[in-house]
Amino acid sequence: MSASAAQVCCIHLIEGLNDNLVSLSTKSFEKIRQCMQEWLFLDGKEREIADYLSISNGFGDDGSLEKCIDNSYACHRKCCMRFTDKTKIQRAEKRMEDIHPVDVNTTVIRPKRSKAISCDLTGIFPPICVICSREKFIFEKHS
């Protein structure tokens, strides 16, 4: 069912979209309100629209469909689909988790470092000392 010319898109995510407006049914209203509650805690343009809807347009606490119909609200089908897209909401939730980790007290587990392997110095030096021409070497161990 097409909306009249007096109605405006209450979501309007896609700039320059001039498609026909569709009146809000009870089902679409509930879906928009549910997604609005999720977008309020996320980021992006959808959050700005969710803020706008919850504060000034009556989608919030009482959320009565009659109030929205009295205010002549409708939406573009594409705007509604984009706002209620579960994949977009999941991606925004993942982005928020990456920005703000859920558990701040998580300890970072570092990989174990390999211990230094003791060197066998007998294979490095020649059998006779180059300086004193002796065959025995005295190695000092440093700790």
Residue 81 has pLDDT above 60, yes or no: yes
Supply the pTM of this predicted model: 0.56
25 three-state secondary structure: coil
23 three-state secondary structure: strand
Closest to 72 in 3D by CA, of 8, 29, 1: 8
Residue of 100 and 62 predicted with greater confidence: 100
Q: What is the pLDDT of residue 1?
A: 45
User: Highest mean pLDDT range out of 4-8, 45-49, 113-117?
Assistant: 45-49
51 in Cβ contact with 59 (< 8 Å): no
